[in-house]
Amino acid sequence: MLLIERYLLRQFAASVLAVAAVLLLVGLGGLLVDLMSEIARGKVPAALLLSQLGLRSIQVLPILLPLALFVGLLLAIGRLYGESEMAVLSSVGLGPQRLWRPLLLVTLPVVGVVAATSLWAAPYGARLARDMIETANRSFLVAGLEAGRFMELPGRGGILYVGELSSDGTQFGRMFVQSERDGRLDVITATEGELFFEGDTGRFLRLRDGFRVEGVPTGKDFRLMRFAENELRVPDREIEAESNELEARGTLALMAQTDAPARAEFNWRLATPLLALTLGFLALPLGRGEARQARYGRILAALLIYINAMVLLILGKGWLSTGAIPAWLGLWWLLLPMALLAAWLFRIDGRLRRPRPEAA
């Protein structure tokens, strides 16, 4: 590799890494807001905030890295033209098409990371995040309950208090539960009990040696019952959407399925690395500019190109899942024209036009 190619490689890589760091920080901010909303609704235990944030950040990499590659290369290539470095390189025989080696050495690793994340890491992270929430819902300790402290049940289902907790968070002593439904107040106390699951129907509390008081707060119609053992259903968690379940499914499992939603998810995972590769080669001809031309106008053009491509990919995924377009078409109707356009622009970049013959 020539010395100038190593210099260009460092410039391209530094620009892409800087843009990727900024975009990742912005993406983490959005993920944090969504995660805090789910914690407030009781869908995710508060103790899993950092772990869920880290796992979900993996899932946004296939969306953020193609944009980081595109914008980073545009900024680096635009600086070459803006500071007349490209004119100097062209004068010694290194035209725009000779930049393919440093461009490829930066683009291919990013495409590899996007492919590995989209095909393996993101589904694995989604499964791990789901399993962590499932495990947390089986333990009061992981769910954030502390002995001697009142806790609001998920979805404002009531108030829970325990005086003692076992080491695994499933056994408890001296419990107090207050809930309200259809205007009636329900207060339950128990000497001891445990948390258990019954299939997929939900979570239950098994209470022993306690009292139950039920009635209307504004009236005198109250009932007092004493029980040796009583089972109380904990408010249900939000049902996981089918799209989230598909995101957690392995790529090999998706390949073996023939239903439309699974094929749509599989084509989406293939499309993101191919989109990154296309945008990487599209950056070189689009980064061309004059010496005194503003460079940051290209950022707006890059954002528009990326947003339109991503919106069409999302629409195509939805059309595939509903059967509006055939499965064999996939998302190639968008990726193939973009790839051909990028290859054509890359090939003609820097060529001089033939002079038109003068009229006689």
- The span from the CA of 54 to the CA of 127, in Å, is 13
Query: What pLDDT does 151 receive?
Result: 74
Q: What are the extents of the domains in the chain?
A: 3-136+243-348, 158-233
Tell me: pLDDT of 352 over 50. no
Query: What pLDDT does 345 receive?
Result: 83
Give mean pLDDT, residues 119-145.
76
Tell me: pLDDT of 107 over 90. yes
Burial category of 76 from C-beta neighbours within 10 Å (exposed 0-12, middle 13-18, buried 19 and up): buried
Tell me how far the alpha carbon of residue 182 is from its chain's centroid.
38
Query: What pLDDT does 360 receive?
Result: 44
Segment 74-83, tens digit of pLDDT = 888 888 877 7
Residue % of the chain over a pLDDT of 70: 81
Tell me: pLDDT of 293 over 80. no
Q: Which of 89, 65, 78 is nearest to 285 (CA)?
A: 78
Q: Which of 302, 327, 328, 331 is nearest to 314 (CA)?
A: 331
Residue 190 contacts residue 208 (beta carbons within 8 Å): yes
- The span from the CA of 185 to the CA of 240, in Å, is 30
Query: What pLDDT does 343 receive?
Result: 85
Q: Which of 311, 303, 306 is nearest to 279 (CA)?
A: 306
Segment 143-190, tens digit of pLDDT = 556 677 777 765 556 787 888 877 766 788 888 888 877 778 888 888
Position 267 confidence tier, pLDDT thresholds 50, 70, 90: very high
Give mean pLDDT, residues 202-230.
82
Give mean pLDDT, residues 199-212.
76
Q: What is the mean pLDDT of the chain?
A: 81
More confident residue, 194 or 112: 112
Query: What pLDDT does 97 receive?
Result: 67
Q: Which residues contact 337 (CB under 8 A, 6 or more apart)?
A: none
Tell me: pLDDT of 67 over 60. yes
The kind and range of the H/E element at 99 are none
Residue by residue, DSSP assigns 36-53 as: HHHHHTTSS-GGGHHHHH
Query: What pLDDT does 141 receive?
Result: 47
First to last CA, the chain: 50
Residue % of the chain over a pLDDT of 90: 28
Give mean pLDDT, residues 270-276.
94
More confident residue, 219 or 176: 176
Tell me: pLDDT of 63 over 90. yes
Which has the minimum average pLDDT: 61-65, 109-113, 205-209?
205-209
More confident residue, 111 or 7: 111
Give mean pLDDT, residues 2-12.
85
Residue 172 contacts residue 192 (beta carbons within 8 Å): yes
Query: What pLDDT does 347 receive?
Result: 79
The kind and range of the H/E element at 195 are strand 184-197
Query: What pLDDT does 194 receive?
Result: 80
